[in-house]
Amino acid sequence: MTNNTNGLRSQYPYNNGEPLSPRPLYDFPSPTSNYPSGAVASPGYYPFAYQNTPRFGGSAFIPPSDVFLDGRGGSVQEPSMDARRALSKRTSEALQSDPVAMHLLVETALGDSQHFQVLSIEEVEALKQEQKALNARLNSSRRKLESETKIRDAAQSLARLTAKQEKGHRRGLSSRGSAAAKDTLVRSEEQLKASGKKVEDLAREVLEIEPRMQAIDSQLLMHTAGILQLSHGHSKRGSRFSNGAQRPDSPASLYGPNTNLNGRPKNEDNFDDRSLYRSPDNLDNLMNALQNGSYQQTESLERQNQLQAVTATEKRLTELNERMRELIVQANPERNQQYSQPPQISADPSDVSGLDRQLDYLDQGLRDVGAEQINIRNNSKHSLNAVEGRLEGINNQLYSLISKSEDANAERFPAPPRIQGGGSQEQLNYVEDAFYHVEELLNWTNQQLQESLSKPPANNLDPQYEATIMGLWSIIKAGEDEARYIKRQRREMLASDPSNDEELSADEDYNENEEFSLGAFSAKVQLLYSQRSSLKEKSGILHRQIKQQRELNSRSDAQKEEEFGRLNDEAQRARNEKIAAERELERAVNQLRQFDEQESARNMGREAESRAIQEAQERCNTLEAQLREAQDKGRNDATSLAQSSARMNELTAALQAATWEKQAAEARHIEVTKTLTTKEQDFQDLEGEIIRLKSELTIAQAELDGAYGTRAERAAESAANPTIKKELDQLAEKNASLLLEIQGLQKAAEAASHSEVEARDSERNLKAELSGMTAEYEALTRDAIQTERDRETLETTIDNLRNNIEKLELQLTDEKVRWIGVTSPGQAQDTSVTLSAMRSEFKKMMRDKTAEGMKLLRAEQEERRKLEAMIRGLRKDANVPTTPQKSSLSKAWPAPA
């Protein structure tokens, strides 16, 4: 059995008995020190002298809280035993070949450490316990500081985004979401302040712990150096060569009795009394650090973790930039179709310039989004001003037309409002009131015409008709003159600004000297009707555009696309309703035109009645066709609803399957956590066993020294007494067996550590799998909610179509009742069917048809109730948990109602 050449016994034979490198790791100053001076002097003079130790790997200056973790991420994590053993061992061949240099180095170290304080065993143990507790607190505080820093950065980003959105709402016209945006901004600022306070408190706590840990490390290192100095000074006595010649003045640690520089075998009977002053735990750690250079692996792991964090951050920035580019292109596809692509991820992980490029691209994208929003607001404001101006001109024309058409004794219609610059709602309200008034006038005129038709013709009514028509002709001419005068004033006002050329309309053909004729009067009436229809259509379009623009201004870019499809459907339905209304209005105007034709050709008699009957029949056919189309559309919507219900059933089944998989993954996670806890407990038990055996070894050595005296006395007694020598041999064998047992326990501890690492890897894999299943569950939940919304929209559409069908049926009934009893030109006057009989027959037919429709409606409602009950049952089954334990995700994402 060989011994190390440095004269110190160790329980680990490093490198087949090669000596440790005597080059010290720490620099301590002394008047005769040969160590470097300046920035790497004693830790007593420079507080950052420990910055290159394995524990304190970052700079020791006090940084601000927001950059506290930049250079200190994993510097406090000491490398494991496997990592220390895997590092290459330093050799000291140069120092072994130069004993003079070794002598100078050791003498200098002894002189530097001669005034260091030597602590008792209780004080050393107390310092180690305090060091362990502080280390745990420091690691916990740094982990909390990292998480709180990330939370604070996220809160800052959210506050900036909320501030931009709040500015956008404040600039918009009558934004309904400004109050909610202000509340969101206030909450974001409060969260940011709370996160900043937590970060500052944690940074202050870390900065308070580190100086105390440095002081403890300094005391332990000085204690170790003092013990080594005492042991070397104690062993200087009696140093001789094997041939009896006096050696040069060199330390006993190099040339003592246990030295083996020339490969001579060691005398196993010699006892190294320096072990009495040796602290086993601290000395073993110091020797491992001196030999293995464990801080190098810590720096390598720290560098690797930093590169991985940089790569992950760059990937996330790339994804954010791609999403931002899609939003910019969707906001204005025509102009932003060729928008530049985000920069690619660098192939070299150590190249951090990719982060700068990604951040620059993100900054530019945010500026472009802000500019696009400002452009949209400006365009909408200009368009609203132009719409308000055009509506004022339309209102003036309507007012002129109504003023000329009103009865002299009736209440005067109010004048149109002036432009206020606050929106076009007031102008649109006036347009609606004017159209309603025009409809009342048309109804009154139609009623008067029908009353005149119902009266028997008289020869003395022709002058009245002529006077009435001439009065209407003069009213129309006066209205056209006034409208032309208002238009001329508007053209003169807009002509001063060249930018308003697009708003100037072309002049209309007008003959001021046009004489009255029945054809000219009919043409004027048709022209007025077409103008009224066009103005009403434009008013409806402008009203919808303004409403859409307001809704778009009050929503975010993400909601605009979602609303686009719905608005398109609503616009299509509005167009269909407008077409139906135009047909109805056309029917009313056709009646007026028919009345004019009958007035101009009242001598034709039966021919006009025949044409009126044919036109009424055509209208009835048209209404019946519209009714059939509405019924077909209702059936199609019912089919779409059934398909949506089937899709929702599929999504519900998939959601239930995902819930089961998530619960199974949670059970596996709990099992792995229990296994990891068991392994950690076994590891702690092994550590306690190692500490107990070391304590027994130290106590046995102390008892041996106290029982048998010094080495010289034991040598004399052993030479005189063979029994004592035999007992010493037995103690040496027992010591060797204890060392072997300690090595076995350490191997078991390494195996337990390896099992713990495997368990943690398994836990991470399960967490990743659980995160993926959670994302799928969230997607299924969102799909179910969207399907429910689509179902509600389809139900609303079906109800509206049903109401329209009922209205059309009522109109068809009115038309049929209206033409009951009207005979055709070729029908005999002496028919036997009376008007009352025909009405009774028609009422019976309508009752039968209504009863049939009610039966169909009840059957459809019953089918709908069955489907709703089935859907509720499926949802109830999907919401019932299979295990009593619920994860945090199920609490955060409730099942759709």
The DSSP output letter for 70 is S
Model confidence at 447, pLDDT cuts 50, 70, 90, reads: confident
pLDDT at position 247, please?
41
pTM, two decimals, is 0.25
Token pair belonging to 298: 């810590």
The answer to which of 299-308, 433-442, 709-718 has the lowest mean pLDDT is: 709-718
Question: Residue ranges of the domains in the chain?
Answer: 389-501+515-603
Does residue 528 carry a pLDDT above 70? yes
Which residue did the predictor score with more confidence, 306 or 674? 674
What's the pLDDT band for 697 if we cut at 50, 70, 90? confident
pLDDT greater than 70 at residue 61: no
- Whether pLDDT at 124 is above 50: yes
Q: Residues 623, 811: contact at Cβ < 8 Å?
A: yes
Question: H-type helices in 555-605, by residue range?
Answer: 557-600
- 428 pLDDT above the threshold of 80: no
In this prediction, residues 530-539 reach a mean pLDDT of 78
**In the structure encoding, which two tokens stand for residue 782, read together?**
């969102």
Most confident of 145-149, 220-224, 632-636: 220-224
Is residue 590 over pLDDT 70? Answer: yes
Worst-scoring range by mean pLDDT, 428-437, 546-555, 600-609, 717-726? 600-609
Using a pLDDT cut of 90, give the percent of the chain over it: 4
Which comes out higher in pLDDT, residue 492 or 507? Answer: 492
Nearest by Cα to 23 from 292, 290, 294, 250: 290
Task: Give the pLDDT confidence score for residue 371 in this predicted structure.
Answer: 82
The yes-or-no verdict on residue 451 having pLDDT over 50 is yes
Mean pLDDT score across all residues of the chain: 68
| Cα–Cα distance measured from residue 258 to residue 344, given in angstroms and rounded to the nearest whole number | 65
User: What are the C-alpha distances in Å from 778 to residues 651, 662, 818?
Assistant: 12, 12, 60
DSSP 79-95: PPHHHHHHSPPP--HHH
Region 589-617: what's the mean pLDDT?
66
Q: Classify residue 249 by burial, with Cβ atoms within 10 Å: 0-12, 13-18, 19+.
A: exposed
Identify the residue with better confidence: 36 or 91: 91
Q: At 262, phi and psi to the nearest 5? A: -95, 10
Q: How confident is the model at residue 221 (pLDDT cuts 50, 70, 90)?
A: very high
pLDDT of residue 217: 92
Q: CA 168 to CA 173: how far, in whole Å? A: 10
- Of the candidates 5, 42, 3, the one whose C-alpha atom is nearest the C-alpha of residue 20 is 5
- Which tens digit of pLDDT belongs to each residue from 640-659? 667 766 776 777 677 777 77
Q: Residue 235 carries which DSSP code?
A: T
For residues 381 and 3, the model is more confident at 381
| pLDDT at position 452 | 67
Give me the pLDDT at residue 665, please.
73
Task: Give the pLDDT of residue 764.
Answer: 80
Tell me 273's DSSP state: G
User: SS3 letters for 333-354?
Assistant: HHHHCCCCCCCCCCCCCCCCHH
Once rounded to an integer, what is the mean pLDDT over residues 171-182?
Answer: 53
Alpha-carbon gap, residue 657 to 889, rounded angstroms: 15
What pLDDT, on a 0 to 100 scale, did the predictor assign at position 268?
42
Q: How confident is the model at residue 241 (pLDDT cuts 50, 70, 90)?
A: very low
How far apart are the two ends of the chain, measured CA to CA in Å? 80
User: Residue range 513-534: average pLDDT?
Assistant: 75
Average pLDDT over residues 606-613: 64
Which of the four pLDDT bands, split at 50, 70 and 90, describes residue 607? low
Mean pLDDT of 466-490: 76
Q: How confident is the model at residue 688, as a pLDDT? A: 79
Distance CA 438, CA 821 (A): 32
The residue to which tokens 């750690």 are assigned? 285
Q: What is the pLDDT of residue 595?
A: 63
DSSP string, 804-830: HHHHHHHHHHHHHHHTTTPPPTTS-TT
Reduced to 3 states (helix: H, G, I; strand: E, B; else coil), residue 379 is: helix
DSSP-derived 3-state class of residue 859: helix
Distance CA 584, CA 581 (A): 5
Q: Is the pLDDT of residue 87 over 50?
A: no
The SS3 call for residue 172 is: coil
For residue 884, what pLDDT is reported?
A: 40
Answer yes or no: are the C-beta atoms of 652 and 788 closer than 8 Å.
no
Is the pLDDT confidence value at 27 over 50? no
d(CA 306, CA 648): 46
Residue type present at position 66: D
Band (pLDDT 50/70/90 cuts) for residue 214 is very high
Band of pLDDT at residue 895, cut at 50, 70 and 90 = very low
Query: Tell me, what amino acid is at 338?
Result: Q
Dist CA 68 CA 63 (whole Å): 6
* 740 pLDDT more than 70: yes
What's the pLDDT at 134?
92
Return the residue matching tokens 């002529």: 466
Higher pLDDT, 197 or 826: 197
Taking only the tens place, the pLDDT of each residue in 178-198 is: 566 667 777 778 878 888 888
Quick one: tokens of 704?
Answer: 């041996």
**Across 315-339, average pLDDT:** 80
Helix (H, G, I), strand (E, B) or coil at 115: coil
Closest CA to 600 of 447, 467, 458, 466: 466
**Cα–Cα distance measured from residue 518 to residue 42, given in angstroms and rounded to the nearest whole number:** 118
